[in-house]
Structure 1
Amino acid sequence: MVNLTIKDISRIAGVGVSTVSRVLNDHPDVKDETRKKVLEVIKEVNYIPNNSARNLKRNETNTIGVLIKGIHNTFFSKMINSIEEKIAEKNYSMILHYNKGRSSDFKVAVQFIKEKKLKGLICLGGEFDDVDNDELKSLNIPVVLASTNIPQHIDKRFFSSVVIENEKESFNAVNYLCELGHKRIGIITTGERDKSVGQLRLEGYKRSLFKNNIEYDINLTEIGEYTFESGFNAMNRILNKNLEIDAIFVTTDIMAIGAAKAILSRGLKIPEDISIIGFDGLEYSKYFHPAITTISQPAEEIGKKSIKIIFDLIKNKKSHKHIVLKTELLKRESCMKK
């Protein structure tokens, strides 16, 4: 065989492209049996990677970076998988970096690019209010901001983006609860400090209440993080106030599952006592009982479009793109007419 690609190896070995990539890059997170199978196929067909010049040293100019905000948000996992597969098909390498602290996401991105000599960078989540246009322009590599809020002051000629309309879709989620007849609608959000999406989703909630002639009550608002536990604790704080709440909008599915657990642990029923709606469309929400109604984001499509933009820019140096994707309201068992 000649001119085989990494995709051919994955097909012959019966594994994913990303798995072959991990084997070629000697990643530890591959089962011994799978690694052995892939290496046998590579040896049998005498496969030589196109970027074999890296031999003992990875060709750092063929590296795409993925910068991820935080470590808890499992919503990014599907995006990462779809990005990794496309990177592997191009015989590039991928480096993940998590901004775990409170450091500026943009400054972390700049340092990441310099240290790893990246060919392109995708930022999943994060806050970029502190971005300086001159500094952004000087990066000289393709940068895509995905699944975050794009500040108005940033010059769109210097970066690309793949996002959804967080404020609008949160409005739609709460409006759905209003259409079902709910009046005492609480919210668990990551809050105004979370300028990536939390602030926008809170604004959508408030706008929907206003549109439906419902007064905003700050007592029905609690702040959480991207964890089951924080959703559970935030919901308990709301329930402890005895405010006769009849519905709750939770701005991430992870927190929504924690909130649902808190409701059920009090002996209350979902949706008979309290309807609940989440946001993201995670698999977890589908298999929770009762299945949680949610705004589903196209996670894989966000990943695929982000990496396509990167490679288009690397290849042709075309203009940056700014893509807005649609979401879907998945109506499940956790909401009912009041």
Structure 2
Amino acid sequence: LNGIEEVAKMYDYEILLANTYSDKEQELKSINLLRAKQVEGIVMVCWKVEEDHINYIQNCGIPATYISKTARDYDIYTVSTSNKEATYDMTKYLIDKGHEEIAFIMTSKDDTVLERERLSGYEQALNESNIKLDESLIKYGGTTYEAGYESMKELLEEGIVPQAAFVTGDEAAIGAINAACDKGYKVPEDISVAGFNDVKIAKMYRPKLTTVYQPLYDMGAVAIRMVIKLINKEHLESKKIELPYKIIERESVIPRK
């Protein structure tokens, strides 16, 4: 939101914010409200964009860009990061630290481009290191602390104690750390844990979370710039823009002894 607002101001645009808390009905109502307000463009940031959203906005004739885990499933203007490469790199990072039994806790079971890419990146890293894929190490949860906690708890109660866990969301990763601790395991001494996104809490929690940094500010800034170009009928080289990521090393991952 900061990236969207600051770039909009640079181009003398005002921002109308509609927070819908991932409620689809409210999202559609908000789109209708923005249409009534005669906005010139829309940046839609949501967990799961669907055809209903896209069709409604397109029927309104309002230029739009999307930041969403499902956006690249559609022929629309999107901003994202290279999820397959990021997941591959973090998995490879854990392998290079000596971890071979790596739990992969995904924050969604939805069959979208994002989930397929992340799972593919995980599998590729294992294959290239001659580590057999173990389906029992893959869990599907949600983005919340509670979901990460439950996923790790399930693994441990099933008698599976991974050397490392890669959780594709920072809050869920912190939940996983606490579940391990509550079951008597130390992080990172017994189980290393890595996250994804690098939200603020990642460096505030103890142990500080090793994670994949996503340029969230830049994603907003690029998305609003794309909308402004569409409003001005300027040329866009690509409908789908991917921004760079990086691995942030902190305290929750250590080499396997």
Output the TM-score relative to the length of structure 1.
Answer: 0.66
Q: How far apart are residue 104 of structure 1 and its match?
A: 11
Which range moves more in the overlay, 219-228 or 201-210? 201-210
Task: Report what 2:181 is aligned to.
Answer: 264
Q: Distance in 2 between matches of 1:313 and 1:119?
A: 10
Correspondences of 1:136-151 after superposition (within 5 Å): 138-151=59-72
1:319 to partner: Cα distance:
2.8
Over 3 Å counting, the alpha-carbon distance change for 1:206 and 1:329 in structure 2 is: same
Q: Answer with 1 or 2: which has the greater Rg.
A: 1
1:17-61: CA deviation from partner (whole Å, max 9, x where unpaired): xxxxxxxxxxxxxxxxxxxxxxxxxxxxxxxxxxxxxxxxxxxxx
Residue type at the aligned position of 1:171: Y
Q: Indicate the residue corresponding to 2:17 in structure 1.
A: 95
After TM superposition, list the pairs within 5 Å mapping 1:272-291 onto structure 2.
Answer: 272-291=189-208
Contact 1:125–1:196 under 8 Å retained in 2: no
Change (3 A) 1:133 1:98: closer
Q: Does 2:250 match 1:329?
A: no
Matched to 2:152, the amino acid is M
Structure 1's 116 and 199: CA in aligned 2 closer, same or farther, altered over 3 A?
A: farther
> Which structure 1 segments of 5+ residues have no match?
1-79
Q: 1:231 aligns with which of 136, 141, 148?
A: 148
Pairing 1:1-338 to 2, within 5 Å after superposition: 80-88=1-9, 90-98=12-20, 100-101=22-23, 111=32, 113-128=34-49, 130=51, 138-151=59-72, 154=75, 159-193=76-110, 195=112, 197-314=114-231, 316-320=232-236, 321=238, 322-338=240-256
1:5 aligned residue: none
| Alpha-carbon contact 1:192-1:198 (below 8 Å) kept | yes
Distance 1:189 1:104, change over 3 A: farther
- The 1:137–1:193 alpha-carbon spacing in structure 2 relative to 1, beyond 3 Å, is same
Counterparts of 1:132 and 1:123, CA distance in 2: 9
Question: SS at 1:176's partner residue?
Answer: helix
Q: Which amino acid aligns with 2:17?
A: I
Paired residues of 1:144 and 1:310 also in contact (CA < 8 A) = yes
The answer (yes or no) to whether the contact 2:72–2:113 under 8 Å persists in 1 is: no
SS across alignment from 1:278: strand
Letter in 2 for 1:97: N
Q: TM-score when scaled to structure 2?
A: 0.85
CA-CA distance at 1:301 after TM superposition: 0.9
1:281–1:296 Cα contact (<8 Å) kept: yes
Contact 2:73/2:113 (<8 A) preserved: no
**CA 1:134–1:242 in structure 2 vs 1: closer, same or farther (change >3 Å)?**
closer
Which amino acid in the other structure matches residue 225 of structure 2? K
Instruction: Give the letter aligned to residue 233 of structure 2.
Output: K
Across the aligned residues of Structure 1 and Structure 2, the Cα RMSD in angstroms comes to 2.8
What is the CA distance between 1:151 and its match in structure 2? 3.7
State how far apart, in whole Å, the 2-side matches of 1:291 and 1:160 are. Answer: 35
SS of residue in 1 equivalent to 2:222? helix
1 CA distance for matches of 2:85 and 2:158? 29
Rounded to whole Å, the distance in 2 between the matches of 1:99 and 1:313 is 27
Alignment: residue pair count: 253
Whole-angstrom distance in 1 between the partners of 2:6 and 2:243: 21
Deviations 1:196-223 (A, max 9, x none): 6344323322222222222222221222
The answer as to whether partners of 2:102 and 2:163 remain within 8 angstroms in 1 is yes
Q: Which has the higher contact order (CA 8 A, sep 6+)?
A: 2
Instruction: For residues 229-274 of structure 1, give each alpha carbon's deviation from its aligned partner in whole angstroms, at most 9, with x where no partner exists.
Output: 1111111111111123110000001101111111122221111111
